[in-house]
Amino acid sequence: MPDKSPSVKLSAVFLGLAAVGAGVLVYRWPPGAAVIAGAALAVIAARHWNQVVRHTEPLRGFVRAALPLLLPLVVVGAAGAIAFRWWAQLLIVFGLGVFAWRVIVAPEWRPALEALATRLSKPLAAPFWTLGIPILAAVTVFFVLIRPGAGPFEDRGGLVLLYATIPLWIEAVALRALGYATSWLRVAIGLLLIAVVARGAAALGIIPGGDWLDANLAWLATGNLAIALAALLLLAVVGPGAWSAAEPARAERLRPFAALGLVAAIFAALILGGAALDGAISARAHTAQRVDSGRPAGKPVPAEKVAPAAGLNGRQLAARYAPELVLAKGEQWRPIPVDSFVADAKLYNRAGRLVPHPNPLPDHCPGPKNAGCFKLVLPNCDSGEDKCAQGYAPDPAHPQGTAYFRVLREQTKHGSYAFAGNDRFTDGAARDTSILIQYWFFYRYDEWKRPILSGTLTQRHQADWEAVTIGLSDAATPVFLGYSEHCGGTWRNWNQIETAPGSPLHPLVAVALGSHANYVSSDERRSPNWASCGGGLPKGFLTLLSYASNIRDETSFGTDIPYRDLNLIRASVREPPMSFPGTWGANDSTTLVNERTQVLKQGSAPATPTYQPLWQDPLATIFCGANWSPPSGDNGGRCKTPVPTG
């Protein structure tokens, strides 16, 4: 007989009103709908707690079965604590540790050991262990061996550990699902859980079959399978108890598989933790304090002992402090004039239509909108290996390069805008700066590749603009050096840098392989800051994960471009190439190649420097930009007042 007590009727009415209210609010205030629906369910659950406990057993059993699969995420969260202060690190690690032990491991650890011990005492124990364990180990080892990433073990580092995490975790999913399948409805739920994970792995290219499934069984998408799984779980909750009730005999037989799944999940978490630890160790082991370890260290003349040079003109100042670039081993590109790129490129307008290629380039946008309205693109040049990219190693006999330079002075009308509001800066280096020298470097192509957890990650775009900024006092003595890196950069006080041997006024700048980001030191492997350019996660957290995943920007001492061989071209907003109102090259793209080729991110092509914040507001960008790091290593963004970046 159905329960028709007044309390049940009242609960039904309350739930109906709550559903109507939630439906009204979902379009006006979605959080309100969730609050009302949650409150209604909480009231009903409190009124009928015993019935709720009985009917939700299949769902609670599913949660218990799935909880160990969260252990790798717990490790990731603990690793990410490095991004916070020491007391926050302690709280996060302690809290996650307590959660992992008390909620996930402890409730099952003793029953799991008993189940495995019982299995060992059975007549079928030998086949279970002699076949099951080696099969799991063989699958894990095979998965590691077929992953990409040629090179010595040291170069792959924690990547090898990460390769073992995926198969162990997938094995844990299968074993936990098998341990949960103690009734026919639970068998279907377990199979759907495995299907969701397998389909998701295929969609990500971790296992083969994703392209075939998309072409022939598009309806069998991960989202559809997840919906079916949720429907079966709902059926297990609201349907007859006999459908999902666990059969004691079957539960006893399957308990060892659930125990093995717990062990596999723990090992996956431990291996992932090992990868994170390897990343942390590597972050310190591959942090050099030198740019050129093959020659005697060059020390800069202390700023206070540099002879005043305020009487020098712009070109003389640029030559006096011109940097010496250190290209990484295997680097294909060097900084060049833009002429060859412009000659080979096609010109497109804002609407994407091909337009006649004028000579010189256009210096303004047609119509009222004076923003970036053109794009220079190398046609059909999608890889750094293409002939159009003209990748070549610098000739050691003639390692010349080109820099577009400009000099800004606080006391002149032309450059005073760059120093406006000096009182907003908290760093003395910014307040002491009265002259700025910027060296802009143009590379024909940018291509960065790394083997990572699930394939090969590639970030590439045609054309690349990078910059080195030197701040001088009003006497034209050096104060600081700014190094551009992807969407941000780093700055150092003059006395903290390394200079060319025998040339204490010419800083050495390490250029990263493929990405051309500028760094303080060479012989280093660090997390590229483009991983955090989009925001959303703490910088230190992404740094550690980047190291664990083999996502690294590498510098080394390959070929240097001496400051004497640097061709200096004056840069002016009124003359090409700085007057060009647009972007250089096709769109920036980040792709992951494994069993599939997936475009992870599409970004804008590099803009002409005059459209970049580093040109428009250099001091504020360097000293206040969230993606710029001061000598302390902390994030920037420390201006006293908001600073425009447009």
**pLDDT for residue 529 is more than 70:** no
As a whole number of angstroms, the distance between CA 570 and CA 563 comes to 16
Q: For the segment 244-255, what is each residue's pLDDT rounded down to a tens digit? A: 677 777 777 788
- 461: closest CA among 450, 445, 473? 445
CB 509 within 8 A of CB 326: yes
**pLDDT for residue 119 is more than 80:** no
pLDDT (0 to 100) of residue 154? 37
Residues in the chain: 646
Q: What is the distance in angstroms between the CA of the first residue and the CA of the last residue of the chain?
A: 71
**pLDDT for residue 3 is more than 60:** no
| Across 109-125, average pLDDT | 65
As a whole number of angstroms, the distance between CA 420 and CA 643 comes to 11
pLDDT (0 to 100) of residue 414? 79
| Across 382-386, average pLDDT | 88
Q: For the segment 199-225, what is each residue's pLDDT rounded down to a tens digit? A: 988 888 877 888 888 888 888 898 899
Look-up: residue for tokens 């096709």? 586
- Give the strands of the sheet with 374-377, arranged side by side: 346-349, 374-377, 582-584
- The more confident residue out of 426 and 259 is 259
| Across 370-384, average pLDDT | 85
- The more confident residue out of 435 and 141 is 435
Structure tokens at 594: 């494994």
pLDDT (0 to 100) of residue 347? 94
CB 161 within 8 A of CB 197: no
Weakest-pLDDT range from 75-89, 386-400, 532-546, 559-573: 532-546
CB 68 within 8 A of CB 99: no
Q: Global pTM?
A: 0.76
As a whole number of angstroms, the distance between CA 272 and CA 164 comes to 9
- Burial status of residue 613 (CB atoms within 10 A of its CB: 0-12, 13-18, 19 or more): middle
- Burial status of residue 608 (CB atoms within 10 A of its CB: 0-12, 13-18, 19 or more): buried
- The more confident residue out of 448 and 281 is 448
Look-up: residue for tokens 């909620």? 103
**pLDDT for residue 314 is more than 70:** yes
| Across 338-355, average pLDDT | 90
Verify cis geometry, omega within 30 degrees of 0, for the bond prior to 501.
no
- The more confident residue out of 345 and 128 is 345
To the nearest whole percent, how much of the chain has pLDDT over 70?
70
Weakest-pLDDT range from 414-418, 544-548, 603-607, 611-615: 544-548
As a whole number of angstroms, the distance between CA 52 and CA 401 comes to 74
Q: In Å, what is the CA distance from 492 to each residue of 286, 439, 556, 626?
A: 19, 16, 20, 16
What amino acid occupies position 208?
P
pLDDT (0 to 100) of residue 33? 59
CB 583 within 8 A of CB 376: yes
pLDDT, mean over the chain: 78
As a whole number of angstroms, the distance between CA 132 and CA 121 comes to 16
What amino acid occupies position 616?
Q
pLDDT (0 to 100) of residue 392? 62
